[in-house]
Amino acid sequence: MAIRVLGVDNSLFGVGDFDEARAFYEGKLGLPVKFAVEAMGIVGYRLGGEEAGLFLRVQASIAPTPARETPRVWLEVADARQAAEHLAQLGIAPLREPFEINTGWVVEFADPWGNVIGLTDYVSDPLKARPQS
């Protein structure tokens, strides 16, 4: 019997500093907080209207670093190139220029600990896009 994947539950990134991570994810990316347990160094963020979220956990051994080979999480946005321009205005440089894929565009950037976040859109295949409200 094969495992049947129903969807993404949550993604978890290790970070080195709780306050700096919150400033990056909330202040620069604008992700809304789902929950925070400061005593445990854990914060969870909502990703759109789905239950799945992005969780951060402080791990003392993780120091700020340029992007490293790490699991990536891609988040769907309405316009990846526009999102890249907005992040550039906030001082967040993409790992490379936005690139085209079959369904639209992707831009990837890293948080201060090297966790890679991709923003992708479906401008070339809007029937596959999530509803925008």
**16-69 pLDDT tens trace:** 999 999 999 999 999 999 999 999 899 999 998 887 889 999 987 777 777 666
* Average pLDDT along the chain: 88
| CB-based contact 13:111 (threshold 8 Å) | yes
Look up the CATH number of the domain holding residue 22. Answer: 3.10.180.10
Query: pLDDT tier at 72 (50, 70, 90 boundaries)?
Result: confident
| CB-based contact 110:66 (threshold 8 Å) | yes
The CA dihedral of 78, 73, 50, 41, to the nearest 10 degrees, is: -130
35 domain-assigned: yes
- Cα distance between residue 129 and residue 104, in whole Å: 10
Query: Which strand (E) or helix (H) includes residue 82?
Result: helix 80-89
Domain that holds residue 35: 10-128
123 domain-assigned: yes
Number of domains in the chain: 1
Q: What is the pTM of this model?
A: 0.79
5 domain-assigned: no
114 domain-assigned: yes
